[in-house]
Amino acid sequence: MAKRGFGSSGGEQDKEGRKKITKESFRRGLKIFSYVLPYKYKFIVGLVFLVLSSLTFMAFPYLVGKLFDSSAGNTSGLFQDINMIAMGLFAVILLQGIFSFFRVYFFAQVSENAVANIRRDLYSKFVQLPISFFEKRRVGEITSRITTDVAQVQDAMSITLAELFRQTTTLIVGVIIIMWTSIKLSLFMLATFPVLVALALVFGRKIKMLSKKTQDELANTNVIVEETLQAINTVKAFTNEMFEVGRYQSTLSKAVKTAIAGAYYRGAFITFIIVGLFGGIILVIWYGATLVANGDIEQGDLVSFVLYTVFIGASVGGLGDLYGKVQAALGATERILEILQEQEEPTDKSIKALSEIPRVKGDISYQNVAFSYPTRQDIQVLRDINFSVRAGEKVALVGPSGSGKSTIIQLLMRYYDVLGGSITVDGKDIRNMNLTELRGNIGVVPQEVLLFGGTIRENIAYGRPEATEAEIIEAAQKANAYDFIKTFPEGFDTLVGERGIKLSGGQRQRVAIARAILKNPAILILDEATSALDSESESLVQQAMDELMKGRTTIVIAHRLATIRKVDKILVIENGEIVEEGSHEQLSLNPEGMYANLLRLQFELS
Ligand SMILES: Nc1ncnc2c1ncn2[C@@H]1O[C@H](COP(=O)(O)OP(=O)(O)OP(=O)(O)O)[C@@H](O)[C@H]1O
């Protein structure tokens, strides 16, 4: 299950993500209505139609009562003619229909627009939040903010609010009218009927809980389907098809058991509604009939009384349900507001194109850098890292897996801030640099190149969206990607990603290199792929990398030592510290050293 609630103020939410309704939570929840403000006139028009439709509805039982009275011949004035009253009833229903149409139409316009704005703001917030935010949460949890929570707020803005108003009006106006009709019968009704409705409500809750459990269990079965279908190759490789079928079957059986238990209660609930609630109505009719017999009230009054009773009962039931919905909406609102209040990364939004970013020279220096990840503060990942790279120099980081090489790079990108020491670029502490300027000057060719779904052209242009076609082609040529792109019938328009062509590892890397060439950064970070490419592809990638490195400060995370002989300096990292430093020649001369050891290991493996 995804964790619910961010931060401390979400702490009062229950595990369903609902929020207790207090004055404070209500006041905070109302903040989300600032999104309604731009559409306030439409909202007000919607409200007017809501009031009108709620009130016209209340005239219905009254007129039905009058219809009965006039059929028995005991009416006076306006309500004597049966036909007139029936026409009146039609008019009421027609008006109710028209008013409801406009209510739905206006509220939908407000809620759809407001909700789209909330989604846009949430998304824009998400992409601007620091990496550490995403590490503390699961992706599903984050996306549910933008889908489920927003949908709940939308419900609240359109349906819940209107229902709340309608049910409350029905309840208040209904009770006033029946009191006015007959106090005796009203008191009798109020002593019996609401109790039964409240009982039905409690019963209903229990059933809802059970059906939620069934849904959760069904969701579990879906997880298995998703997992196995995503890893279908692995399932087949291990010939575990039947094992997976068994796993699915056993979770399915559980879901069926819960569903059947739920059905038992549902059956009992229906019986209760039939016997209990209708029994209640019979009681009211019985008492009302004795009052009619004694001449206390008219027949028509009894009819409208019973109709009002049904309306009041429905609204009591509805309000109970709405209470839960308001709670859920307040919880959702709170979670949305918390995200909207999160601190963004200090990027510079006024910079619209890479060309506006001032270019750095590319001197880099790490001074006594110490670091632990925010999620694992107890483990010190880097301690006392000191090194400098002059503009245009090439440095390689080598060392065992998990020694801290990628972390060193992540700190340069300022995905995280150092905990001790400092990192400077051109002598300036990167914490004092404009983040857009810093990252705009760094190009990255990652270990695992992920391409976006879209064309090859779009993927290369991602390095500099304003690039011209000629620049994109030139970058592809320099990255040794042009030739393979030309072999595809659609060339640069070839789709890649899920619905497109699948590029090989070497091809993907060359697209990433073309992207970096297009960005033309002063500082370059190359995270070498761990898996070796075939020798032809390898040499094409290497050539492209050499082209890319020209004239740029480069830090290479090297996994295959053969590729780094040419660098100016090698830093050997072990357990978050630099244990050796020097050129390939210098380091290989020390047979006891870690580098020489790594060299021997690779040699033996290859
Ligand atoms: N986001 C993270 N949150 C918490 N700990 C992390 C995170 N990323 C890495 N670590 C931990 O930090 C340590 C250094 O990891 P790092 O990725 O820098 O190693 P590396 O030398 O690049 O390894 P490899 O060569 O396998 O890529 C490891 O112990 C790792 O478990």
Per-residue model confidence as pLDDT tens digits over 500-541: 677 888 888 889 999 999 999 999 999 877 666 666 677 888
Locate the ligand 1 atom nearest the alpha carbon of residue 573 and give its number. Answer: 21
Ligand 1 site, residue 406, Cβ cutoff 6 A: yes
* Phi and psi, residue 427, nearest 5°: 80, 0
Write the pLDDT tens digit of every residue in 258-296: 888 888 888 888 888 788 878 888 988 999 999 989 988
Ligand 1 site, residue 402, Cβ cutoff 6 A: yes
Ligand 1 site, residue 375, Cβ cutoff 6 A: yes
Please report, as a single letter, which amino acid is at residue 73.
G
Ligand 1 site, residue 377, Cβ cutoff 6 A: no
What gap in Å lies between CA 587 and CA 197, rounded to an integer? 84
What gap in Å lies between CA 465 and CA 476, rounded to an integer? 15
For the record, the structure tokens of 279 come out as: 């029994």
Separation of 232 CA from ligand 1 center, angstroms?
A: 29
Write the pLDDT tens digit of every residue in 409-420: 999 999 999 999
Tell me how long the chain is: 606
The burial class, CB within 10 Å (0-12 / 13-18 / 19+), for 583 is middle
Q: Which among 137, 371, 403 is the best mutation to test ligand 1's pocket, defined by most ligand atoms within 8 Å of the CB?
A: 403
Nearest to 418 by CA among 428, 427, 408: 408
Upper half-sphere CA count for residue 398 (Cβ side, 13 Å): 27
Residue 322: which H helix or E strand, with range? helix 299-340
Ligand 1 site, residue 405, Cβ cutoff 6 A: yes
Separation of 67 CA from ligand 1 center, angstroms?
A: 80
Ligand 1 site, residue 407, Cβ cutoff 6 A: yes
CATH superfamily of 1-181+325-344: ABC transporter type 1, transmembrane domain (1.20.1560.10)
Domain residues of the chain, as ranges?
A: 1-181+325-344, 183-296, 355-605
ipTM strictly over 0.90? yes
pTM of the model: 0.77
- List Cβ neighbours of 209 (8 Å cut-off, separation of 6 or more): none
What gap in Å lies between CA 467 and CA 472, rounded to an integer? 7
What gap in Å lies between CA 554 and CA 30, rounded to an integer? 52
Atom 7 of ligand 1, nearest CA residue: 373
Contact between 310 and 93 under an 8 Å Cβ cutoff? The reply is no
Atom 27 of ligand 1, nearest CA residue: 401
Atom 25 of ligand 1, nearest CA residue: 401
Tell me what pLDDT residue 17 has: 64
- Report the C-alpha dihedral over residues 577, 583, 589, 593, rounded to 10 degrees: 10
Write the pLDDT tens digit of every residue in 176-222: 998 998 888 899 888 877 777 778 888 888 887 887 788 788 888 88
Average pLDDT score over residue span 360-366: 94
Write the pLDDT tens digit of every residue in 399-458: 888 999 999 999 999 999 999 999 999 999 999 999 999 999 999 988 888 888 889 999
Contact between 521 and 442 under an 8 Å Cβ cutoff? The reply is yes
Contact between 154 and 196 under an 8 Å Cβ cutoff? The reply is no
For the record, the structure tokens of 244 come out as: 């997976």
For the record, the structure tokens of 409 come out as: 């790079």
Separation of 433 CA from ligand 1 center, angstroms?
A: 26
Separation of 399 CA from ligand 1 center, angstroms?
A: 12
Distance from chain centroid for Cα 480: 39
Tell me what pLDDT residue 63 has: 87
What gap in Å lies between CA 209 and CA 203, rounded to an integer? 10
For the record, the structure tokens of 538 come out as: 């390898």
What gap in Å lies between CA 590 and CA 572, rounded to an integer? 13
Write the pLDDT tens digit of every residue in 58-101: 888 888 888 888 887 766 666 677 888 888 889 999 999 999 99
Separation of 262 CA from ligand 1 center, angstroms?
A: 47
Ligand 1 site, residue 205, Cβ cutoff 6 A: no
Q: Which among 134, 376, 383 is the best mutation to test ligand 1's pocket, defined by most ligand atoms within 8 Å of the CB?
A: 376
Locate the ligand 1 atom nearest the alpha carbon of residue 131 and give its number. Answer: 1
Q: Please tell me whether residue 383 adopts helix, strand or coil conformation.
A: strand
Ligand 1 site, residue 404, Cβ cutoff 6 A: yes
Atom 9 of ligand 1, nearest CA residue: 407
What gap in Å lies between CA 335 and CA 342, rounded to an integer? 11
Return the sign of the alpha-carbon dihedral for residues 195, 197, 199, 201.
negative
Distance from chain centroid for Cα 516: 31
Locate the ligand 1 atom nearest the alpha carbon of residue 409 and give its number. Answer: 18
Separation of 406 CA from ligand 1 center, angstroms?
A: 7
What gap in Å lies between CA 26 and CA 2, rounded to an integer? 25
Atom 12 of ligand 1, nearest CA residue: 381
CB count within 10 Å of CB 203 equals: 17
Between 315-324, 426-435, 469-478, the lowest mean confidence (pLDDT) is in 315-324
CATH superfamily of 355-605: P-loop containing nucleotide triphosphate hydrolases (3.40.50.300)
Q: Please tell me whether residue 89 adopts helix, strand or coil conformation.
A: helix
Ligand 1 site, residue 487, Cβ cutoff 6 A: no
